[in-house]
Amino acid sequence: MIFDTTLRDGEQAPGFSLRVDEKLRMARQLEALGVDVIEAGFPIASEADAEAVRLIAGTLERTTVAALARCAAGDIDRAAWALEPAPRRRIHTFIATSDLHLSRKLNMSRDACIDAAVAAVTRARGYTDDVEFSAEDATRSDADFLCRVIEAVIAAGATTINLPDTVGYSTPDEIATFFADVIGRVPNADTAIFSAHCHDDLGLAVANSLAAIGAGVRQIECTINGIGERAGNASLEEVIMATHVRADRLPVTTGIDTRQLYPSSRLLTELTGEAVQANKAVVGRNAFAHEAGIHQDGMLKDRRCYEIMRPEDVGVPRTTLVLGKHSGRHAVAARCEQLGFALDRDGVDRVYRAMVAAADVRKHITDQDLVDIACAVLGVAAPSQPAPHEPVPHESGYGFGV
């Protein structure tokens, strides 16, 4: 199960807040993407959050809508109100279980923590039979105490148990052992679905999520573009494509339509105004772009030389061969051909040398730059067909761009 928390954990990060109408647009896209659960917000946190959750709950048809609530009656009641219109609703209640959080943040004893957790789950079950319990800072909690809490909340009716790596402290081998241990020790574990919610403080959120799957976890909590508190959450697109490309190692399936990954990433970027880093896996600008000559040559011969997934499978229109100082003759010849130049070997060589010299000065060579270079070097007029801005796809199917 894919539990998307872009609109809650993601949206609460600095720079990513969205208006109610923007949250609704994103929620519709997430439904088209095929996530199982959309965590739409934290209704007690603000009027706007409550309103957004209620609007999304009344709009989506297939996807379960979840709302976050602390283990407090007021939070649970507010979440239940916001979720009322949803055909499928989940109350997600959480409390910290590590001694550090209990003593320093909540000033609460372990026994009081269990009581609050059980009371919250019981109250939530009065509103819906789909209740998720999260033990905040689970991976830094005392294992014996954590198991006691989990057993108690499952007995009280929790159907999903989420064990967050709240501060992104775990390593993959450690988190696998952690989940296997908890699932093995909690006597009623088989009546709940276990879930991983990994933060990316050490850049390990996706690796940890995948390791958790190997240990029996069947729900991953993640976000589009990996947005979320501090360094973010596990990136949904990376988790999904890892399970697709490496199905041999990760034999699980999801309901995700992978062709909606890039459109989802683009919509989030458009709505938040926060760009995705160019080299971001799966959805970054360079994820399917090649500039190095050896790579372009390999790509033009067989794309599998340098791509382990097809851009169209994640909704990226096409592979891009970028002309720059690292490019080679093969790519220059292919692009010149697209632009209407018929070059012999010597012509390719001369245009290539001039292009590399120009690329030493400017960062990228555009189609117009290449036309100008080719015309100057060959002493010919620009071909009238095809126009540089209407390139005929090369037989490789790749686009050229900057």
Cβ atoms within 10 Å of 190's Cβ, excluding its own = 8
> Is 40:8 a contact under the CB 8 Å cutoff?
yes
Least Cα distance to 149 among 185, 189, 196, 113 occurs for 113
Q: Which does 319 bind (CB under 5 to 8 A by kind): ligand KIV, Zn ion, none?
A: none
The correct pick among 4, 9, 130, 367 for binding Zn ion (CB under 5 A) is: 9
Q: Cβ of residue 164: shortest distance to Zn ion, in angstroms?
A: 6
Token pair belonging to 380: 């010919």
Does the protein bind Zn ion through residue 165 (CB under 5 A)?
no
Q: Cβ of residue 283: shortest distance to Zn ion, in angstroms?
A: 21
Of 71 and 354, the one with the shorter C-beta distance to ligand KIV is: 71
Of 36 and 136, the one with the shorter C-beta distance to ligand KIV is: 136
Which residue lies nearest Zn ion, judged by its C-beta? Answer: 9
> Is 29:263 a contact under the CB 8 Å cutoff?
yes
Q: Cβ of residue 48: shortest distance to ligand KIV, in angstroms?
A: 19
> Is 324:364 a contact under the CB 8 Å cutoff?
yes
Q: Which does 330 bind (CB under 5 to 8 A by kind): Zn ion, ligand KIV, none?
A: none
Binding site for ligand KIV (CB under 6 A): 9, 94, 134, 136, 162, 164, 166, 197, 199
Does the protein bind Zn ion through residue 11 (CB under 5 A)?
no
Q: Which does 136 bind (CB under 5 to 8 A by kind): ligand KIV, Zn ion, none?
A: ligand KIV
Token pair belonging to 161: 């148990």
Q: Is 103 left (phi over 0), alpha (psi -120 to 50) or beta?
A: alpha
Does the protein bind Zn ion through residue 49 (CB under 5 A)?
no
Q: Cβ of residue 13: shortest distance to ligand KIV, in angstroms?
A: 11
Q: What residue has token string 């994640």?
A: 314
Query: In angstroms, rounded to a whole number, what is the distance separating the alpha carbons of residues 382 and 373?
Result: 10
Q: Which does 134 bind (CB under 5 to 8 A by kind): Zn ion, ligand KIV, none?
A: ligand KIV
In 97-191, the DSSP E strands lie at 131-136, 160-165
> Is 349:322 a contact under the CB 8 Å cutoff?
no
The site for Zn ion (CB under 5 A) is made up of 9
